[in-house]
Structure 1
Amino acid sequence: MTVADLFGYAGKRVLVVGGATGMGAAAAQTARSLGANVTVMDIAPVTYDVDKAIEMDLRDPQSINAAIDDLDGTLDAVFSAAGIADGPDLMRANFIGHRHLIERLVSTDRVQSGSAICFISSVAGMSWEENLEQVQEFLANPDFESADKWCVAHESDGFIHYGFSKAAINAYVAMEAYPLRAKGIRINAICPGPTDTPLARANEDLWLGFAKDYREATGAPVHTPEQQGNAMIFLNSDAASGISGVTLIVDSGHAMSSITGSYAPGKPIMDILMGKVKFG
């Protein structure tokens, strides 16, 4: 296999969920430039060239099922990129709908041996290991309806927020590495630091202000969607064939420098993100 084969997407069939804008759009456009046949599913219109665009609402399992039925053939790579910042649909849009889609793709043999899946998570979900028991209690609800009911039942407890939705992704990726690998399928996620996307700009003070001191100290700029998309492209490529169950932090070193105290000003906030302060 040549280097171009390892890192390229020539002849591959790719699905990007949430690819209308941001990191998903960046991954979709890069995959297409590398030779992939690209389908984008999104509730928003897709305004750049793709091979197929399917309107789909992650908050509605019937919409997800109909979108899957509209797919052409099998898939070599799935990018689960959609997400929102808050609101009553947070868990449906950020995790429950994605899980429903992925598990239906697997159960209907749309993704088969040799394929790969990559989520967009966040450094905000790094607390999943410290809070694994609670996150696994949520994940034990096996379908869209039961998971949604669990969230409704716990909405007044104060721990279901953006960070919990991303912790669920990270734990799911870790837990599914084994059963999916037994089918020949890999699953990973990226955990981006601050990235200049429409969603981040809508929450600019919090999202783009995070780690500003570290960026000023190191000269590292805010990430671009293309940087995050490239990390996803790598994880779903044949070059990453030995990698599964991993949540890859893409943040110019802020998290690790802060956790270890190498960058001491970042340690207090990372203690929170790492779960030293519990969800509930």
Structure 2
Amino acid sequence: MTGIEQFRYDGKRALVVGGATGMGAAAAKIVGDLGAEVINLDYAPVDPSLGRGIQVDLRDPASIDSALDQVGGPVDALFSAAGIADGPDLMKINFIGHRHVIDRLMNSGQLNRGGAICFISSVAGIGWETDLPRLQEFLATPDFESADAWVKAHEADNFGHYGTSKQAINAYVATHAFPFLAKGVRINAICPGPTDTPLARANADLWLSFAQDYREATGTETHTPEQMGNVMAFLNSPAAAGINGVTLLVDYGHVASSNVGTFAAGKPIIDLLMGRISLG
């Protein structure tokens, strides 16, 4: 396969978890336009133009199992896109349910050799390496129920908020890059900067104001879901066959520029996210 064909999805089946809105819907539209048969799992109704829709509740492993039974057949590309901003079910929806989907697909052989997985993480998930022992303990839980119990047991330790759900994704991607590739499957994630989605608009004061000074200084706008969908489609395509275990920042360079101090105004918040300084 050469040239433009490497970017296409002809003859492939793409499964989008969270394909009803936002970045998931953008990814579904893009890979569909690139030739994929698209199946969307979401709690909300899915626009038929985005492909087949199957309802799923990521808070319930039985619902996930039922949805995957309806998917049937092999899967070539998995887009793990669903997420929420807060609430008691945050870790189930943002990570534990997605992990259950992946476990089912991998254990059943439903995810084809040569396939790929792409998560949506977040800039909020950077700095995960500083909390690696605790994240590894969490990731060592063997199933949905034990992971949920672990989170509840560590609520007093500030585990289970939005940032740690994204750190868990980043640690999971790094942890599983080798064993999954040994089975012929790549896994990566994108870490978006502020992106204009329904979820972000519902949390606009915090999410869409983040890095506003950087965007003003660089003449850039808030990211679009399509920008993220394009990167996800690339990462799960044969064109990205050499990329594995990566959590890719898609943020106009805000984190990198702040990290090294060329954008000095952003350095304090990035130092905080990276665990170099604390609020205390």
Aligned to 1:253: 253
Secondary structure (helix, strand or coil) at the match of 2:99 reads helix
Secondary structure (helix, strand or coil) at the match of 1:130 reads helix
State the number of aligned residues: 280
5 Å-filtered alignment, 1:1-280, equals 1-277=1-277
Give identity over the alignment, percent: 65
d(CA) in 1 for partners of 2:185, 2:279 = 32
Q: Which runs of 4+ in 1 moved over 6 A?
A: none
TM-score, normalisation: structure 2: 0.98
d(CA) in 1 for partners of 2:51, 2:203 = 32
Say if 1:75 and 1:132 are closer, same or farther in 2 by CA, change over 3 A. Answer: same
Shift of residue 275, structure 1, vs aligned partner = 1.9
Secondary structure (helix, strand or coil) at the match of 2:97 reads helix
d(CA) in 2 for partners of 1:226, 1:51 = 17
Which range is displaced more, 14-23 or 69-78? Answer: 69-78
d(CA) in 1 for partners of 2:156, 2:34 = 46
d(CA) in 2 for partners of 1:244, 1:12 = 20
Shift of residue 5, structure 1, vs aligned partner = 1.5
Shift of residue 52, structure 1, vs aligned partner = 1.6
Could you tell me which runs of 5 or more consecutive residues in structure 1 were left unpaired when the two chains were aligned: none
Shift of residue 48, structure 1, vs aligned partner = 4.0
Shift of residue 158, structure 1, vs aligned partner = 2.1
d(CA) in 1 for partners of 2:158, 2:279 = 7
Alpha-carbon contact 1:126-1:275 (below 8 Å) kept: no
Alpha-carbon contact 1:170-1:247 (below 8 Å) kept: yes
Alpha-carbon contact 1:122-1:193 (below 8 Å) kept: yes
Shift of residue 115, structure 1, vs aligned partner = 0.3
User: Which AA in structure 1 matches 2:138?
Assistant: F
Shift of residue 278, structure 1, vs aligned partner = 6.5
d(CA) in 2 for partners of 1:87, 1:254 = 28
Shift of residue 127, structure 1, vs aligned partner = 1.5
d(CA) in 2 for partners of 1:50, 1:26 = 9
Which range is displaced more, 70-79 or 197-206? Answer: 70-79
Could you tell me which runs of 5 or more consecutive residues in structure 2 were left unpaired when the two chains were aligned: none
d(CA) in 1 for partners of 2:212, 2:232 = 24
d(CA) in 2 for partners of 1:135, 1:275 = 14
Alpha-carbon contact 1:131-1:279 (below 8 Å) kept: no
Say if 1:276 and 1:48 are closer, same or farther in 2 by CA, change over 3 A. Answer: farther
Secondary structure (helix, strand or coil) at the match of 1:49 reads helix
TM-score, normalisation: structure 1: 0.98
